[in-house]
């Protein structure tokens, strides 16, 4: 009789321990997570190196065929950071000089493929692509289909839609073609004042708390880097985890976490 009681007690304790582990696992899974990408690396060495030295798994989007791009990508890789090809796509409003590697609307499929291949080869260690500008091209399903074909042709690449227009179909085309992808939720520094960047960083944290995951894009501006140097080490105290962009894309692709229309913000 005593042995039966002891056996029953052991089973109860095992079940209780299992429940505790399950609850703990659920709590861990529900921890808000963010990923941060710093765009436009490739021209300024000092700003690029300062960005690469940010704490944690911040990712870096390097413009193709830039004078400092390969060196910065190599340095980021040495420090265990992820690199994206920051691919220039034609925009509605930009009227400056053509940028190296720009993809434009009047390209043929063959021209598109050759341009993409050159750009991708110019950024060492790239694990994916995000778009630079693109408010015109990302609304065209044909060209976005071509882009996803090029990404899929290179094993294990991801795509992040910088989401420079509400009319972007890039994320939808990525889903339809099986490319692991996510969309930017917050631009940190459309306005470069310290107060505005801090406000957007607070919004980023709020979105992560509300939705589980959130993606921010910033630039290697002194104001942005100063805020991130100060705030990234404080994220753990806020109960928020900074993760790599590849991990966030994997989680978001699996969980299909989406923002409501009211939460979408274009730059």
- What gap in Å lies between CA 61 and CA 83, rounded to an integer? 6
Predicted local distance difference test score (pLDDT) of residue 257: 36
pLDDT tens, residue by residue, 213-228:
999 999 999 999 999 9
Which helix (H) or strand (E) segment holds residue 148: the answer is helix 141-152
- What gap in Å lies between CA 217 and CA 186, rounded to an integer? 6
CATH homologous superfamily, domain 34-261: Glycoside hydrolase/deacetylase (3.20.20.370)
Taking the model in full, what pTM does it have? 0.84
pLDDT tens, residue by residue, 129-173:
999 999 999 999 999 999 999 999 998 999 999 999 999 999 999
pLDDT tens, residue by residue, 9-56:
344 444 444 334 333 343 345 799 999 999 999 999 999 999 999 999
- The two tokens of residue 196 are 């505005």
The pLDDT confidence band at residue 73, using thresholds 50, 70 and 90, is very high
Provide the Cα torsion 218, 220, 221, 224; round to 10°: 50
């Amino acid at each position: 009789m005593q042995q039966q009681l002891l056996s029953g007690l052991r089973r109860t304790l095992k079940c209780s321990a299992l429940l505790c582990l399950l609850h703990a696992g659920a709590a861990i899974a529900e921890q808000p997570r963010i990923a941060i990408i710093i765009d436009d690396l490739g021209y300024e060495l000092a700003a690029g190196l300062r960005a690469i030295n940010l704490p944690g798994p911040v990712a870096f989007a390097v413009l193709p065929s830039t004078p400092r791009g390969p060196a910065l990508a190599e340095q980021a890789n040495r420090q265990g950071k992820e690199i994206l090809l920051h691919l220039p796509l034609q925009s509605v409003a930009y009227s400056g000089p053509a940028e190296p590697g720009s993809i434009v609307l009047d390209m043929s499929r063959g021209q598109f493929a050759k341009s993409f291949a050159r750009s991708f080869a110019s950024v060492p260690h790239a694990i994916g692509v995000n778009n630079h500008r693109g408010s015109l091209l990302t609304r065209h399903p044909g060209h976005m289909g071509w882009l996803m074909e090029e990404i899929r042709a290179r094993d294990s690449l991801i795509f992040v839609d910088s989401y420079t227009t509400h009319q972007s179909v890039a994320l939808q085309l990525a889903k339809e073609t099986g490319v692991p992808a996510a969309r930017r939720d917050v631009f940190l520094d459309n306005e470069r004042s310290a107060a505005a960047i801090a406000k957007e960083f607070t919004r980023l944290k709020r979105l992560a708390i509300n939705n589980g995951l959130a993606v921010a894009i910033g630039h290697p501006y002194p104001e942005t880097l100063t805020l991130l140097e100060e705030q990234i080490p404080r994220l753990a105290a806020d109960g928020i985890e900074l993760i790599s962009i590849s991990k966030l894309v994997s989680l978001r692709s699996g969980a299909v976490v989406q923002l409501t229309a009211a939460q979408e913000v274009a730059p």
